[in-house]
Structure formats: C-alpha cells, structure tokens
Amino acid sequence: MKKLFLSMLSLVLLVVMTACGSKSESTSGKTEKEAAEKEPITLRVSWWGGQPRHDYTMKVIEMYEKEHPNVKIEAEFANWDDYWKKLAPMAAANQLPDVIQMDLAYLSQYGEKGQLEDLAPYTKNKTIDVSSIDSNKLSGGMIGNKLYGFSLGSNVLSVIANDDLLGQAGVEINDSNWTWDDFEKLAIQVQDKTGKYGTNTMNPPDVFFPYYLRTQGEKFYKKDGTGLAYSDDKLFVEYFERQLRLVNAKTFPTPDEQAQIKGLEDDFIVKGTAAVTWNYSNQYVGFAQLSKSALSLHLPPEQAKEKALFLRPSMFFSVPKSSKHKEEAAKFIDFFTNSVEANKLIKGDRGVPVSSKVADAIKPELSEEAKKVFEYVEQASQHASEADPPDPLGSAEVMKALKDISDQILFKKITPEEGAKKFREQANEILAI
C-alpha cells in the first residue's frame, strides 16, 4: 500500500513539474519575444526644408519615440541644396539614413541604381497601412512594379486667379469645360480692360508643356525614358505660338520680367499685376496670405478631355537597401502617414495627406486658405488619371534644354518650328545615353 502511495505521489509530482516546466518555457519564450521587440534601435531620418518644417518634424519624432520607447531617432536636415550635396557621398559610402525624404527629380537616380528598398511588400503586409489611400496617390513613387518612394502628400496643377482683376475685366472662369482658346481670350481681355497681365509665363516650361501634351492625349517622355514620347512636333509649335501671341498682346510677361520674381512676395498674382498664375495647389496658401485681393483656385483648361490632371507627389519617404532597420523605417512612415495627431502638426506642409481619413480629420484644424487647397485637391482627384513615371536619368539636362529653347523662342531669336527641331535633337541625344 505504501509502495502504491509513493508511486502515485511520484506521478503527481512529475505531472506538476512538467506543467510548471511547460509554463516556464512558455513564459520564457514570450519574454524573449518581448525582449526582441524592445531591442534598442537607432533610426536615422533625413529631410530638407525651412525652420518651420524642422520644428514640427522634431515634434512628430518625439511623438513616435514616446509610442516606441525602444526607438531613438537621429534627425538629419538641411536646406534643399545642402541636403542633396550631403546625400550623394552618403550614398557612395553605403551610409544613407534609414528614412530619406526623396524628391521626384532624384527618385530614378537612386532607385535605378539599386539603392532603394521596394516598399510594396510593407504595404501588402500592412506595416504601412494604405487602406484609406487611393492607388493613384502612390503611383508617382513607382518605377516599374517597385514602390521606391512613398508619397507624403499630393499637389495638383492649378490656375490661381485674382478675383478682383477678373471682375474689373468682366470675365469669369468656368473651369468645368474651358478650353485653351478660352484661356487665351480671357488673358487678352484682362489686358485690354485693365492694362494688367492676363497670366504669368507658365514657367517652368518642363511643368506646363507636359501638361499641354496630356490634354492632347500625349506624354512627354517614353515609358522607358529613352526619348520623347510625342512624335508630332506640331504640338510643340502650337504651344509656343500661343505663348508668342500672348507676349505680343502684352498680356504675358517676357522671360526677363519673369526672372525678376525671386519669391512669393514678388509674384505677379501677389502684386496684383496679373489676373492668373499657373502653379501647384500648395502655393495657394502663400499667395493668398500675401495678396491684398481675394484669390481663387481653378482647374486648368481642357483637364477633363483626356483626364490630363494627375496627383503629383509633393515629396516621398524612401528607405535605402543599406538600412539595417527596414521594418522600423516602414513603421515610422506608417506613423507619419496615418497618425492624425502627427498630421495636426504637419498641417499639409508636405502636401495634402494621401490618407483620406487623415485629410478629413485634420481639416477642421486648418486655416481657411489651407482648407481650400484640401478641397481643391479632392475635387481634382475626381478627374485625375495615373501620374507619369518618375523622370528618367538625364531629365535635369532635358529640362534645362527646354528652358533655354523656350527663352530663345519668347525673345524671338528662333521660331517655334526651329525650337521644336532643336529640342527634339537635344532631348533624344541626352536620353539615349
């Protein structure tokens, strides 16, 4: 009997010890996982901009660090010129920051050299939540099927009008269906009635000529970036002939007059010397705050015919392949994109938030001018089509060539026909390299 009791006691002890051991192992495994999640991480985040952007971005970083106490973020920022000068040697040394503020003009340069991580997998596994983001708003960061740049905000090409001057000239803009001819007539009528310019110079031409091509169902660059996409130089000629007519009618500033504009405070629309300015929508707030006249936002001519408008990424966040903390970098991008509290600090400075939920949530916090920009981008997005691919390598030289040839045409040193031929030869030579 005693032996039976001892045997049963041993069995009970064995079961208890096994259970305790299992619990201990389970707890140990959980502890190890939690420890891994709380492993200290240093994340380098870089951006360009002015002091206000630096100030609020640092506050957003503090918010992120508070929610993720194991993460310390090292901020690296500079003005536009210094930023790219610093980034190039970092790239050469394989020491790029973990999160890089990236511009459309440089995305191909870094992406096609294999220096950037494809962020598409992080959207698919929901590390970056894109459930409230329209795919058109992200397409501008795609090269092929790789998402090398995650858009931080959207801008749209717009026509900003001085309502007082339009009233004095007895004209109005019906932007639901106005044409290029309507635009030209309006500009000339403003000059005739008020003696002021009807429009600014649609500068730089590398922004506005590609838009004109889109209204005609054409594109500027080939998809593979090896040359110009449009084949009929008549489109180039017609675009610049219209500009020459406006110069001759004295309703369009000459290039040397445009060159005197050094900042928003000098712009024709702010000074009240032009009825219309062509700009991206994010410029409206600055113009409206400086202008003594009421300003309004309008869709550009013939935008509906070919769905010519597109949502232009104001800037991106990219993650380099060299980063040792890609997952955490993606989490930071998600926070920057989807945190309502963070975006109450950002207030659309990097473009209208790509998340519709965030945009709606922060709208009550905005100034009246900023609200109008949000509403305009939302209106334009209903008419927008997919953005063109990022500019190919060599695009900076192509832009310079187009600007130089545009100046020569408007100064009447060469004809639009000569300019069209000259530009095609130079652009294709640059892009073929």
Rg of the chain on CA atoms, in Å: 28
Q: What is the distance between the alpha carbons of residues 146 and 142, in angstroms, rounded to a whole number?
A: 5
Residue 353 reports pLDDT greater than 80? yes
Predicted confidence (pLDDT) per residue in 8-44, tens digit: 444 444 444 444 444 433 444 444 444 445 789 999 9
pLDDT at 136: 81
How many residues does the structure list for the chain?
433
The residue whose two tokens read 């500027």 is: 220
The residue whose two tokens read 């500068």 is: 203
**DSSP strand E in 30-135: where?**
41-48, 71-78, 99-102
Cβ-proximal residues to 55 (8 Å cutoff; 6+ apart), any chain:
none
Contact between 370 and 350 under an 8 Å Cβ cutoff? The reply is no
Contact between 336 and 330 under an 8 Å Cβ cutoff? The reply is no
Mean pLDDT for the chain? 88
Number of neighbours of residue 427 by Cβ within 10 angstroms: 22
Q: Are strands 99-102 and 41-48 parallel, antiparallel or unpaired?
A: parallel
Contact between 385 and 188 under an 8 Å Cβ cutoff? The reply is no
Question: Closest Cα partner for 282 from 125, 158, 383, 172?
Answer: 158
Task: Please give the residue that has the higher pLDDT: either 203 or 22.
Answer: 203
Q: What is the distance between the alpha carbons of residues 76 and 13, in angstroms, rounded to a whole number?
A: 60
Element (H, E) at 376: helix 368-381
Burial class (CB in 10 A: 0-12, 13-18, 19+), 224: exposed
| Mean pLDDT within 104-128 | 94
Is the link from the previous residue into 253 a cis peptide, with omega within 30 of 0?
A: no
| Mean pLDDT within 42-56 | 94
Burial class (CB in 10 A: 0-12, 13-18, 19+), 266: exposed
Cβ-proximal residues to 63 (8 Å cutoff; 6+ apart), any chain:
335, 339, 341, 342
Token representation of residue 60: 């957003």
pTM above 0.85, yes or no: no
43-47, 258-262, 301-305, range with greatest mean pLDDT: 43-47
The proportion of the chain whose per-residue pLDDT surpasses 70, expressed as a percent, equals: 91
